Amino acid sequence: MPSLVIIKTGDAFPEVAEQHGDFEQLFIQQLREALPDGMTLNVWDARENTPTASPASLAGVVITGSHSMVSEAPPWSEALKPWLKQALADDVPMLGVCYGHQLMAAAFDGVSDYHPAGRESGTHRVRLTQAGQQDPLFSQLPVSFPAHLTHAQSVMQLPHNATVLAHNSHDAHQALRYGPRQWSVQFHPEFTAPVMRAYLERQRAALRDQGEDPDTLISGVHDTPEASGLLRRFLAFV
């Protein structure tokens, strides 16, 4: 039976996980009801074991966010890179999110590192490039749409042959495509508005330190149905 695998790369803050679910559970909540008939949904924690199954044996892969930093090269994260390269070579459908976005870019010979403008957190608008407007996964999105974001690192240098599908004023690489069925996004399609607010509450001090008003960011959080729908549309490619 074909399996869609969620590769877990980190844990949400304890209060977020307790109230709303950990990272993998947020994905499961979005994906479970839309899975094709006969497909199973499994979770692999990359911090505990590097995947040993052949990527080609899987229906698809989703890579979660993390509080780890790609540029700091955790051993488990580095060990995952060759597997991701093989998955790309095997044309396995992939969708990386936040840390998964940065890890995929780094695995494919790009560079992910701290963003010089600091952290981007809250609900912010993202805009499709011309390539994004023509992309089979992204073309159903409006040209400009809101998305939930929380990240200190970004893809700072594109991998060879990567295509930029979306950007905004903070980050030139909000969404990338690496192959016919391999994408990654900096924003969080799995986040709900309550999850985003909980993250901003935890980040109050850090946001103040970089000159932002947490209360303004929290009041600006709202539902992001267009971005959230990306996860379910991804299932059409597995």
Angle between helices 23-31 and 225-234 (to 10 degrees): 80
Cβ-based neighbours of 187, under 8 Å, separated by 6 or more: 97, 98, 126, 147, 148, 149, 174, 175, 227
25: buried, middle or exposed (CB in 10 Å: 19+, 13-18, 0-12)? middle
Q: Is 188 a catalytic residue?
A: yes
Point out the catalytic residue in the list 98, 120, 124, 173. Answer: 98
Point out the catalytic residue in the list 101, 120, 148, 190. Answer: 190
Alpha-carbon distance of 102 to 173, in angstroms, equals: 10
SS3 64: coil
Task: For residue 100, give both structure tokens.
Answer: 């998964």
Q: Is 18 a catalytic residue?
A: no
Point out the catalytic residue in the list 101, 124, 173, 188. Answer: 188
Q: Which phi and psi angles does 80 have, rounded to 5°?
A: -80, -20
The DSSP bridge partners found for residue 123 are: 148
Q: Is 98 a catalytic residue?
A: yes
Q: Which phi and psi angles does 150 have, rounded to 5°?
A: -155, 105
Closest CA to 128 of 149, 142, 115, 109: 142
Question: Which residues does the annotation mark as catalytic?
Answer: 98, 188, 190
